[in-house]
């Protein structure tokens, strides 16, 4: 392991020989992408070092240069830098205007590059059709973009997510199939939701930036949107391993073009199986084993579902604590959600695709997906 790479990348602030308790809302196991930072911290704790830790949440240097967008290709979205206090957890939420050159017309997001530092649990970018009079990022609520988890008053509503990611550093070339794109109606604005966990004893500098690759909606025959199934019927007894399965059904014929998932620190494995004509496929079409950096599977070929077909998804959890785990945000809470993207069937071009979602309150009953445009929960 090249410890110099991790330290020079600013993955961790100056280490201390302190107890490694983590009094945050998200505790428990950390996935393998955190292990190099923890190893470095442990190795250097209390020792002399000629390495200057930066105190920043900068990504590991992957050797990938940040691409410069050509004129007419898209634009850079930079939420700016912010600092997270020691052992703090929260959401950094800003509204960002669309670049002037892309205003006044419907556009479609076809791909993106991302730069999200380690300690990013998740990052969602939504789109609102409401106009925003601003020259740059402005707080979603009040005067401070940073909202500690315990102080949050609720979700910031958008008209649906256009992309999501986790703290994996510089990732280039995320994108949909040729001819596909997420509709962004004229003159709206972007909304970020950057969830950060600082489990260290030092302030952490964070940032988020994206190259958005765009195209005129009139040149994008297959418009896509989110399809999200949120299971709230989550209960994990103390000291136990539990698998929780739920399902959702589609309201009309459609094609799945990307599959992803969302859960928290007790998750061991997330699986999705297709349900066609009431029959569950024996093999999963999607598997992810990282709770904090779930697989984003851009499908090589769309998966066609008929009205009434659906998705069965299972969260496999391990609870090593003495506490009962239930749905929600907190030390002893969990989530289990499908985060996917769909389009109308391939033969249907230039058709509107509203965001589809559902909230499952009883996993015994398949939940129908519905248009969540005006639904007051962030999908």
Which CATH fold topology does 74-220 show? Jelly Rolls (2.60.120)
Instruction: Please report the sign of the dihedral spanned by the C-alpha atoms of residue 69, residue 75, residue 80, residue 81.
Output: negative
What separation in angstroms does the CA of 87 have from each of 57, 68, 119, 167?
A: 14, 35, 11, 17
Distance CA 178, CA 174 (A): 12
Give the model confidence (pLDDT) of 201-254 as tens digits.
Answer: 999 999 999 999 999 999 999 999 999 999 999 999 999 999 999 999 999 999
Q: What is the pLDDT of residue 224?
A: 96
- The answer to whether the pTM exceeds 0.75 is yes
| 74-220 matches 224-371 in fold | yes
Distance CA 113, CA 174 (A): 6
Structural domain boundaries in the chain = 3-44, 74-220, 224-371
Q: What is the pLDDT of residue 177?
A: 92
Q: What is the pLDDT of residue 24?
A: 47
* C-alpha 115: how far from chain center: 13
Q: What is the pLDDT of residue 293?
A: 79
Q: What is the pLDDT of residue 374?
A: 75
If one counts every other C-beta atom within 10 angstroms of the C-beta of residue 339, the result is: 22
- Beta-bridge partners for 318: 241
What is 222-254 written as a DSSP string? EEEEEEEEEE---EE-TTEEEEEEEEEE-SS-E
Distance CA 111, CA 225 (A): 13
Which CATH architecture is the domain 224-371 placed in?
Sandwich (2.60)
CB-count exposure of residue 370 (10 Å: 0-12, 13-18, 19+): middle
Give the model confidence (pLDDT) of 18-52 as tens digits.
Answer: 333 344 445 444 444 444 343 333 333 333 333 33
Q: What is the pLDDT of residue 233?
A: 95
If one counts every other C-beta atom within 10 angstroms of the C-beta of residue 304, the result is: 14
The residues of the chain scoring below 50 in pLDDT are 1-25, 27-62
Best CA proximity match to 181, nearest among 216, 157, 129, 227: 216
- Beta-bridge partners for 275: 280, 310
Tokens of 334: 């969990």
- Ranges of beta strands (E only) in 250-294 are 254-259, 261-263, 267-276, 279-280, 286-288
Tokens of 282: 């024996």
Q: What is the pLDDT of residue 155?
A: 52
Distance CA 205, CA 214 (A): 29
Give SS3 for 289: coil
């Amino acid at each position: 392991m090249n410890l110099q790479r991790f330290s020079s990348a600013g993955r961790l602030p100056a280490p201390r020989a302190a107890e490694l308790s983590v009094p945050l809302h998200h505790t428990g196991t950390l996935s393998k992408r955190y292990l190099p930072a923890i190893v470095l911290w442990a190795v250097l704790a209390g020792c002399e070092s000629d390495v200057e830790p930066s105190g920043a949440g900068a990504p590991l240097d992957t050797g990938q240069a940040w691409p410069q967008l050509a004129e007419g290709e898209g634009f850079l979205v930079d939420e700016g830098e912010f600092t997270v206090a020691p052992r703090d957890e929260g959401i950094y939420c800003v509204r960002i205007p669309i670049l002037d050159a892309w205003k006044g017309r419907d556009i479609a997001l076809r791909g993106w590059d991302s730069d999200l530092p380690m300690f990013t649990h998740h990052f969602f970018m939504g789109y609102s059709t409401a106009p925003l009079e601003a020259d740059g990022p402005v707080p979603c609520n009040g005067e401070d973009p940073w909202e500690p988890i315990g102080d949050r008053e609720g979700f910031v509503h958008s008209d649906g997510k256009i992309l999501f990611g986790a703290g994996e550093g510089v990732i280039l070339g995320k994108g949909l199939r040729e001819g596909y794109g997420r509709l962004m109606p004229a003159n709206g604005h972007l909304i970020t939701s950057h969830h950060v966990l600082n489990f260290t004893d030092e302030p952490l500098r964070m940032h988020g930036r994206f190259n958005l690759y765009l195209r005129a909606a009139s040149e994008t025959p297959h418009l896509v949107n989110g399809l999200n199934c949120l299971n709230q019927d989550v209960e994990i007894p103390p000291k136990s391993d539990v698998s929780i399965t739920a399902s959702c059904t589609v309201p009309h014929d459609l094609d799945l073009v990307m599959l992803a998932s969302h859960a928290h620190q007790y998750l061991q494995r997330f699986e999705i199986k297709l349900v066609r004509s009431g029959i569950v496929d024996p093999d999963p079409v999607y598997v992810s084993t990282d709770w904090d950096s779930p697989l984003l599977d851009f499908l090589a070929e769309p998966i066609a579902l008929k009205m009434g077909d659906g998705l069965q998804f299972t969260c496999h959890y391990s609870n090593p604590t003495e506490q009962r785990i239930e749905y929600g945000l907190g030390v002893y809470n969990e989530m289990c959600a499908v985060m996917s993207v769909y389009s109308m069937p391939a033969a249907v071009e230039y058709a509107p695709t509203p965001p589809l979602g559902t909230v499952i309150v009883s996993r015994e009953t398949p939940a129908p997906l519905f248009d969540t445009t005006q639904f007051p929960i962030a999908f």
